[in-house]
């Protein structure tokens, strides 16, 4: 097995009708079991980058590509999209656009059918996937008779049943209400506990801070920051220069240090921030 789950080397990509590349000399790696969060302003190239990793760009959505991408040591450009779908699952923004079948069971079976999974094995995987996303017993229901959060969990279950090593999620909760967002993130937390490797694009930095191991900041097609979640989110001035912000707790601690001449460590989650604030006050 290759050392890294994903390796992107000198990736540059241009759509046929864009005047300059939308991705410019991108380099990063993700180890097995790591979750990478990608953040950046709208139009930065986040979705395009995610679709390069599973080969959708440029094999289905065409354009001019340079550089190399390796997934589990396989060169993505030399593998077709169908073959890649065995290794890389993709969950999109809008749940209903990913659902096409009459029942939930058929919905989950659909992707597996394309991979040639035998019927007996399918039944086992359907049960397993539904239980992982908390939709046990819903097999015969119509996907349309689900809430937005449930539909997105179903879309995740359909991907999980294909047993990919890597999951890519492009703003999977942006169309959901707060309850739906929490439902989906609860599922994602479980996947992380299982050791899933993943990429998640989300504008909500609190979610990224709580869930991701590494963060990549993309702006105008360039990697502006890349590092562990702590490394990236504690560079507050740099984030502000890029018109982004750190999680609210990190912003709070930074402002607190500045205002009261304190030296609290810039934590990125509430749990760590409480401890940091307490130590700064001792």
Ligand X SMILES: Nc1ncnc2c1ncn2[C@@H]1O[C@H](COP(=O)(O)OP(=O)(O)OP(=O)(O)O)[C@@H](O)[C@H]1O
The DSSP-derived string for 124-184 is HHHHHHHHHTT-TT-TTS-GGGS-HHHHHHHHHHHHHTT--SEEEEESTTTTS-HHHHHHH
Of 107 and 202, nearer to ligand X (C-beta) is 202
Kindly state whether residue 173 participates in binding ligand X, applying the rule CB under 6 A: no
Nearer to ligand X, 17 or 120 (CB): 17
| Residue of 4, 48, 165, 276 interacting with ligand X (CB under 6 A) | 48
Is-contact 5 34, C-beta < 8 A? Answer: yes
CB of 238 to ligand X, least distance (A): 19
CB 88 within 8 A of CB 164: yes
Which residues face 169 on adjacent strands?
Answer: 91, 200
Q: At which residue do the structure tokens 């930065």 appear?
A: 44
Lookup result for tokens 């989650």: 269
89 binding ligand X? (CB under 6 A): no
- CB 203 to ligand X: min, Å: 7
Please tell me whether residue 45 binds ligand X under the rule CB under 6 A.
yes
| Residue 57 CB, nearest approach to ligand X (Å) | 8
- The answer to whether the peptide bond before residue 58 is cis (omega within 30 degrees of 0) is yes
In the complex with ligand X, which residue's Cβ is closer, 2 or 62? 62
Does 18 contact ligand X by CB under 6 A? yes
Select the residue interacting with ligand X from 17, 19, 78, 120 (CB under 6 A).
Answer: 17
Closest CA relative to residue 185, chosen from 175, 177, 173: 173
Q: Identify the residue among 9, 10, 31, 61 touching ligand X (CB under 6 A).
A: 61
> Which residue among 8, 26, 44, 146 contacts ligand X (CB under 6 A)?
44
Q: Can you tell me which of 5, 8, 39, 46 binds ligand X, judged by CB under 6 A? A: 46
Rg of the chain, C-alpha, whole Å: 20
Between 15 and 28, whose beta carbon lies closer to ligand X? 15
Among the listed residues 184, 158, 156, 164, the one whose alpha carbon sits nearest the alpha carbon of residue 105: 158
Among 16-24, 117-125, 225-233, 255-263, the segment contacting ligand X (CB under 6 A): 16-24
Separation between Cα atoms, residue 81 and residue 72, nearest integer Å: 15
Query: From CA 73, how far away is CA 22, in angstroms rounded?
Result: 25
Residues near ligand X, by CB under 6 A = 15, 17-18, 22, 40, 42-48, 61
């Amino acid at each position: 097995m290759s050392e890294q789950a994903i390796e992107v080397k000198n990736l540059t990509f241009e759509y046929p009708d864009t005047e300059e590349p939308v991705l410019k000399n991108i380099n990063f790696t993700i180890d097995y079991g790591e979750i990478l969060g990608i953040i950046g302003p709208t139009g930065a190239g986040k979705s395009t980058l995610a679709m390069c990793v599973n080969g959708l760009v440029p094999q289905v959505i065409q354009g001019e590509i340079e550089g190399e991408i390796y997934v589990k040591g396989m060169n993505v450009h030399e593998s077709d999209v169908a073959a890649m779908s065995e290794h890389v699952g993709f969950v999109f923004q809008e749940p209903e656009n990913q659902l096409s079948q009459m029942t939930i069971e058929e919905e989950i079976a659909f992707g597996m059918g394309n991979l040639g999974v035998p019927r007996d094995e399918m039944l086992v995987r359907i049960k397993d996937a539904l239980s992982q996303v908390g939709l046990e017993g819903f097999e015969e229901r119509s996907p349309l008779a689900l809430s937005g959060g449930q539909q997105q969990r179903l879309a995740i279950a359909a991907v999980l049943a294909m047993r990919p090593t890597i999951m890519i999620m492009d703003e999977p909760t942006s169309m959901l209400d707060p309850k739906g967002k929490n439902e989906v993130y609860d599922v994602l937390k479980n996947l992380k506990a299982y050791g899933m490797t993943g990429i998640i694009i989300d504008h909500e930095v609190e979610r990224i801070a709580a869930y991701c191991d590494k963060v990549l900041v993309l702006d105008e097609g360039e990697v502006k920051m890349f590092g562990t979640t702590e490394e990236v989110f504690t560079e507050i001035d740099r984030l502000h220069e890029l018109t982004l912000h750190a999680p609210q707790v990190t912003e709070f601690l930074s402002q607190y240090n500045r205002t009261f001449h304190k030296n609290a460590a810039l934590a990125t989650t509430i749990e760590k921030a409480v401890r940091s604030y307490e130590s700064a006050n001792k």
